[in-house]
Amino acid sequence: GLGGQVFALFVIAVAAAEVGVGLAIVLLIYRNRRSVDVDALDELKG
């Protein structure tokens, strides 16, 4: 029914948003990688 379609669209939208945020974070790390110490990145990874 309509509820299932709305739920499916919501799930797709959330997944797309997560992918977008992930790509943004990767791009930020990639762009700043040259100016950031490798040790600092290792600390962020835990």
Distance (Å, whole) CA 41 – CA 25: 13
Q: What is the pLDDT of residue 5?
A: 94
pLDDT at 41: 65
- Look at residue 8 in the predicted model and tell me its pLDDT: 96
Joined tokens for residue 15: 């997944």
Instruction: Give the pLDDT confidence score for residue 10 in this predicted structure.
Output: 96
pTM of the model: 0.51
- In this predicted structure, what is the pLDDT of residue 32? 81
pLDDT tens readout for residues 4-38:
999 999 999 999 999 999 999 999 988 887 665 66
